[in-house]
Amino acid sequence: MQTDQAKFIQQSEQAYMISGKVDFSTVPDLMQQAKGLFAIKNQSNLVKCTVNLSQVSACNSAGLALMIELVREARRNNIELQFKNMPDSLQSIAKAYGVEEEIRDLNR
């Protein structure tokens, strides 16, 4: 049994949270859970959504791949996706890959 199961949680219409361990074993399920985010598609106006990462207990490069895919899918659906409370480890990985601007943390 997985004790640190990752979850993509909708907190309000435009606020979400990722919790748990974000790695190669949990990212596919997280992406599946995130599909509800893109259901708010709005053709005429840009929608802003926030993903809070304060409850992420561990993260590796798979987490970075998830975030990049979320941002790209959000853009295709006229959604501006912003992150907050990004773990330092994820910030470091993003910087190493040169994508820190694409997944910028609102708190920094």
Distance, in Å, from the CA atom of 41 to the CA atom of 5, rounded to the nearest integer, reads 28
- At residue 1, the pLDDT reads 37
Average pLDDT, the chain: 88
4 forms beta bridges with: none
Indicate the burial class of 77 (C-beta count within 10 angstroms; 0-12, 13-18, 19 or more): middle
Choice among 3-17, 31-45, 89-103 with the minimum mean pLDDT: 31-45
What pTM does this model have?
0.87
pLDDT > 60? residue 101? yes
- Residue 79: CATH number of its domain: 3.30.750.24
State the residue range of the domain holding 47.
7-97
Tell me if 46 is assigned to some domain: yes
Tell me if 105 is assigned to some domain: no
Q: 71-75: long-range contacts at Cβ-Cβ below 8 A with a sequence spacing of 24 or more? A: 71/102, 71/103, 73/34, 73/38, 74/37, 74/38, 74/49
Tell me if 71 is assigned to some domain: yes
- Count, in order, helices (H) and strands (E) of the chain: 3, 4
Indicate the burial class of 96 (C-beta count within 10 angstroms; 0-12, 13-18, 19 or more): exposed
User: What pLDDT, in 10s, does the model give residues 54-81?
Assistant: 999 999 999 999 999 999 988 888 889 9
User: What pLDDT, in 10s, does the model give residues 16-61?
Assistant: 999 999 999 999 999 999 987 777 666 668 889 999 999 999 999 9
Question: What is the domain count for the chain?
Answer: 1
Distance, in Å, from the CA atom of 69 to the CA atom of 73, rounded to the nearest integer, reads 6
